[in-house]
Amino acid sequence: MRIGCIVALSLVASCAEWSPRAEPPRTVTVARVARDGQTRADATPTMFVWARDKNGATFTYQVQPDGTSTSRLEGIHLVVKGTEWTWLAKTVDVETAACDLSLGQRQAPQGGTVTRASLIDAGAREQVVVPATGFDCNGEGCVNELRHEVQPIASIGPYLFVEETHYSYACGAHGSTGRTFSVWDVEHARPVDVTNALPQPDVLRAEAEKRFADDEKENGGPMDESPPAVTEVLPVFDGHRVAFEAQLTISACYACSDGLWSSYTRSVRLRTPAPPVLASYRDLPAPVSLFASRHSELTVGGWSEVLP
């Protein structure tokens, strides 16, 4: 098992017989590996490990060096440099506009919601990870319906991987969905760019282009000839190690989309060397691996160290 730019260029070619592929899981999951009962408790810190249950609810567990949990908190909590930060997402209503449809019909505004996501510490200090701005209804930028959600998909130490999902309907033939990806550095309260900092990017793009070409031959759907872009970089917690997958994306027609990024794209995921900022996190801490191996009912999302 595996542990926990909206591109809108519609191609002219027809895709009437294209069958979109089912979207694979978007979480990154820890492999359930067999253990010999031995632990590496010496010099191993206590961990905060957050996970999702089968209903999607998130909890954070305080995990001892031997992998046992001594307490559980609701939600996602990270400890960075001795400070505990709590993930907080708030939905804000925004104005949308009516649609003038064909035959003189008019559709009332369907409403809109935008998510503001932040991290809060015990002293009420706040790091705004995703602000609820840029969605105002003004002139041509106004839509009939809008839904914007934010979800943490993984974390490694002070680095939080965040994905935004946008759905909008702008009075056309159908609505469209897109995603935005970012990595937030909790220690320095700022985003870090990992999609443009991967080692060997030309090798990745060449492999992605080959995959897309093979996909086009097999399924018959048209593909954009522009070079694929790296849209996400996700951790893969596999046994004792942390690997990384890069998602590369190209434009495609609406019917050709595979659901991995937007309504007008197709994507592939490839293993990649670690981005430089994450290269020191290639070992999965023993308490995290032990905890995951004992809790098959949970999908581990990430961890941080609790200083003594």
DSSP string, 31-71: ------S----TTPPEEEEEEE-TTS-EEEEEE-TTS-EEE
Closest by CA to 223, choosing from 26, 18, 5, is 18
- Report the percent of the chain where pLDDT is more than 70: 81
286 lies in some domain = yes
Contacts of residues 290-296 at CB distance under 8 Å and 24 or more positions apart, as own/partner, are 290/35, 290/39, 290/66, 290/67, 291/47, 291/49, 291/61, 291/63, 291/67, 291/68, 291/69, 292/3, 292/30, 292/32, 292/237, 293/32, 293/33, 293/34, 293/35, 293/67, 294/67, 295/51, 296/32
Q: What is the mean pLDDT of residues 214-220?
A: 72
Rounded CA separation 157/183 (Å):
12
Task: Report the mean per-residue pLDDT for the chain.
Answer: 83
Assigned token pair, 69: 């949990």
Q: Which domain holds residue 195?
A: 46-99+107-306
Could you tell me if residue 27 is inside a domain? no
d(CA 146, CA 116): 14
Q: Considering the domain boundaries, does residue 274 fall inside one?
A: yes
User: pLDDT confidence of 294, banded at 50, 70, 90?
Assistant: very high
Indicate the number of domains in the chain.
Answer: 1
Q: What does the pLDDT look like over 169-191, one tens digit per residue?
A: 988 888 999 999 999 999 999 99
pLDDT value of residue 101: 79
Residue 5 confidence class, pLDDT cut points 50, 70, 90: very low
Can you tell me the distance from the alpha carbon of 232 to that of 150, in angstroms, rounded to the nearest whole number?
A: 15
* pLDDT the model gives residue 38: 38
Q: Is residue 17 part of a domain?
A: no
Q: What angle do CA 67, 289, 295 make, to 5 degrees?
A: 70
Instruction: Identify the band that residue 103 occupies on the pLDDT scale cut at 50, 70 and 90.
Output: confident
For residue 218, CA distances in Å to 19, 130, 155, 207, 210 come to 12, 39, 36, 17, 12
Contact present, 163 and 150 (Cβ < 8 Å): yes
Model confidence at 57, in pLDDT bands (50, 70, 90)?
Answer: very high
15 in any annotated domain: no
| 37 within a domain of the structure (yes/no) | no
pLDDT, average across residues 34-38: 36
pLDDT value of residue 219: 65
Residue 31 has pLDDT above 60, yes or no: no
What's the pLDDT at 142? 82
Residue 305: both structure tokens together: 């160290």
Does a structural domain hold residue 40?
Answer: no
DSSP 283: B
Angle at CA of residue 23, ends 7 and 160, nearest 5°: 70
- Beta strand 106-107 pairing with 229-238: unpaired
In a domain, 301, yes or no: yes
Q: Per-residue pLDDT tens for 194-209? A: 999 999 999 999 999 9
Could you tell me the pTM of the whole model?
A: 0.83
